[in-house]
Amino acid sequence: MLNIKELVIATKGKLINGDESFIPRKYVIDSRNVDEKPFFIPIIGESTDGHKYIADAVNNGICGFFINKDYLGKETVINSSININKDICIIEVDDTKEALYKAGEYNRNKHIDIPVVAVTGSVGKTSTREIIASVLRTEKNVLTTKANYNSLIGAPIMALEMENQDICVFEIGTDSFGEIEKLSNLVKPNIGVITVIGTAHIGIFKSREGIFNEKIQITSHMIKPAILIVNGNDDYLVNVNSNDRYNVIKYYSEDAKNVVQNTDNIEFEASIYDKLNTLIINQIGVHNVKNAICAIKVGECLGISTSNIIKGISDYQNFSRRLEKISLKDNITLIDDTYNASIDSMKSGLKTVNELKAKRKIAVLGDMLELGDFSAKLHSEIGKVINTLNYDIIYLFGKEAKNIATTIDKNIKINIYDDMDKLINDLNLEIKEGDIVYLKASNGMKFNRIIEFLKSR
């Protein structure tokens, strides 16, 4: 981690106040998230300017902050902050967001001897990141991306936490051209992972080829000898081969044998160091098996023992709102899969829940966002999948989700809504003892409202 003097050097900033030997232990962009006396970075966004919250952050106990040299209220903020805390560290910079990136890059370079595994892809980044980290954690001190800190703001915060770990597992995401290259430069991976080239953000990148061209930039700043691990079942990634910059390892769904989805876990067989082993994932969702196969490849590359690879996969716990099972009274089960949604993850979730036993299966589906001109077509593909499954009732919410109904041709009850309160009321009256209710939509559709209501019923 960096001391204040190093932060000034990294950002080419100017120390206004504070001890240059002081070392911040945490960095935040939210003025309310001030546990452990963090260093605050006021980000200028589309709708708000973080500089407006510096005073609140200082009152809440931060140890220091960046401030843009051109911020109109700069002098007032600086003087009032010092009046509250005479030791507060204040660094004036040209741009706070770029300063954050430069600081993270500087710290990564300072700790260039710590290996980094960087995970990207259209779907499955977070779950793959977490199962890899679970495997590595059995033998190593691992720094892992927190929550969704995978952007040009979040990833530098993670890079600033590099200090004395054995290895880091970082998630790398993008929603615009050029971000993956910049993030690759930030974290400089030793091992890169690409999960799949799907349709998430296709409204921005215009085609899967455009998405592939962006994701493959994870290799642009890899440290030799570099290893790129890719999903060999993907029609774009299967054509990625070793070259003079990195060696390619491919993993396939066929690497898993005798896969069994149980009520609360998945059993399967897979080779580890060329010997067949039985493994258990204590989650639902057969897609987790491919993530586990990827984790096995990473574990092998880093010399993790067979027994600990098996243990790490068994210990893996996914985040909430990703196929999270919630038990209600009357033996009603919610499957909360509302953290986010893409065409691939919605298809996978529907198929996973279809395999579970219940008196009735109900799906509540909302819009998949950021699909641009492809939105109607991709939503209609979900209806075709539903035709092959055994759902009893479908609830659709949102102007795009209604397109799902256009391709459902089997005799099942379909309810379409543009009023969430009415949907919640009708769903609450409908669900009965023994039902499974699967909920899936992009995070922006705010399906957490439905979940919280049903949990309180």
At 18-53, the pLDDT tens digits run: 999 999 999 999 988 788 899 999 999 888 899 999
Reported as a single tens digit per residue, the pLDDT across 86-131 is 999 999 999 999 999 999 999 999 999 999 999 999 988 999 999 9
Determine how many CB atoms are found less than 10 A away from the CB of residue 132.
Answer: 31
Question: Order of strands across the sheet with 142-144?
Answer: 142-144, 167-171, 116-120, 191-194, 226-231, 246-251
Of residues 105, 96, 100, the one with CA closest to residue 27 = 100
Of residues 322, 264, 302, 288, the one with CA closest to residue 138 = 302
Residue 55: pLDDT band with limits 50, 70, 90: very high
Reported as a single tens digit per residue, the pLDDT across 414-443 is 999 999 999 999 999 999 999 999 999 999
Q: Is the pLDDT of residue 457 over 80?
A: no
Residue 75 corresponds to which amino acid?
Answer: E
* Bridge partners (DSSP) listed for residue 324: 336
Sign, CA torsion 394/398/402/408: negative
pLDDT at residue 34, rounded to an integer = 81
CATH number 3.40.1390.10 given to 4-95: yes
* Bridge partners (DSSP) listed for residue 397: 366, 417
Is residue 299 within 8 Å of residue 309, measured between CB atoms?
Answer: yes
Q: Is the pLDDT of residue 200 over 90?
A: no
Of residues 12, 214, 221, 13, the one with CA closest to residue 108 = 221
Residue 282 corresponds to which amino acid?
Answer: N
Q: Which of 110-124, 223-237, 334-348 has the lowest mean pLDDT?
A: 334-348
pLDDT at residue 212, rounded to an integer = 96
Is residue 299 within 8 Å of residue 312, measured between CB atoms?
Answer: yes
Sign, CA torsion 422/426/428/434: negative
Distance CA 457, CA 440 (A): 20
pLDDT at residue 340, rounded to an integer = 86
Q: What is the mean pLDDT of residues 157-173?
A: 97
* Domain 324-455 class in CATH: alpha beta
Sequential DSSP letters for 160-186: TT-SS-SEEEEE---SSTTHHHHHHHH
Distance CA 419, CA 210 (A): 35
Of residues 330, 338, 327, 328, the one with CA closest to residue 364 = 338
Q: Is the pLDDT of residue 85 over 80?
A: yes
Beta strand pairing call for 167-171 and 116-120:
parallel
Annotate 265-319 with three-state secondary structure. CEEEEEEECCEEEEEEECCCCCHHHHHHHHHHHHHHHCCCCHHHHHHHHHHCCCC
Task: Indicate the Cα dihedral angle 93, 98, 104, 108, nearest 10°.
Answer: -110
Distance CA 360, CA 383 (A): 18
Where are the domains positioned within the chain? 4-95, 111-315, 324-455
Alpha helices in 206-249 (DSSP H): 208-215
Distance CA 62, CA 39 (A): 6
Of residues 416, 195, 439, the one with CA closest to residue 339 = 439
Beta strand pairing call for 64-68 and 39-40:
parallel
* Bridge partners (DSSP) listed for residue 119: 171, 193
Report pTM.
0.88
The tokens for 332 are 């009603």
Distance CA 442, CA 175 (A): 14
Is residue 311 within 8 Å of residue 138, measured between CB atoms?
Answer: yes
Q: Is the pLDDT of residue 202 over 90?
A: no
pLDDT at residue 46, rounded to an integer = 82
pLDDT at residue 452, rounded to an integer = 94
Q: Which residues contact 274 (CB under 8 A, 6 or more apart)?
A: none
pLDDT at residue 376, rounded to an integer = 95
pLDDT at residue 292, rounded to an integer = 98
In the chain, % helix, strand, coil (3-state, to 5) comes to 40, 25, 40
Half-sphere exposure of 185 (CA within 13 A, CB side): 9
CATH T-level topology, domain 111-315: UDP-N-acetylmuramoyl-L-alanine:D-glutamate ligase (3.40.1190)
Which of helix, strand or coil describes residue 209? helix
pLDDT at residue 320, rounded to an integer = 79
Of residues 341, 330, 338, 343, the one with CA closest to residue 436 = 330
Q: What is the mean pLDDT of residues 1-5?
A: 96
- Tell me phi and psi for residue 451, to 5 degrees: -60, -50
- Tell me phi and psi for residue 136, to 5 degrees: -70, -30
- Tell me phi and psi for residue 208, to 5 degrees: -65, -30
How far is residue 167 CA from its own chain's centroid?
Answer: 19
Cis ω for the linkage preceding 225 (within 30 of 0): yes
Is residue 11 within 8 Å of residue 103, measured between CB atoms?
Answer: yes
- Tell me phi and psi for residue 407, to 5 degrees: -115, 5
Reported as a single tens digit per residue, the pLDDT across 253-284 is 999 999 998 888 999 999 999 999 999 999 98
Residue 447: pLDDT band with limits 50, 70, 90: very high
Reported as a single tens digit per residue, the pLDDT across 355-374 is 999 999 999 999 999 898 99
pLDDT at residue 318, rounded to an integer = 78
Q: What is the mean pLDDT of residues 324-343?
A: 92
What is the percent of the chain with per-residue pLDDT over 70, rounded to a whole number?
Answer: 100
pLDDT at residue 175, rounded to an integer = 86
Distance CA 440, CA 386 (A): 14
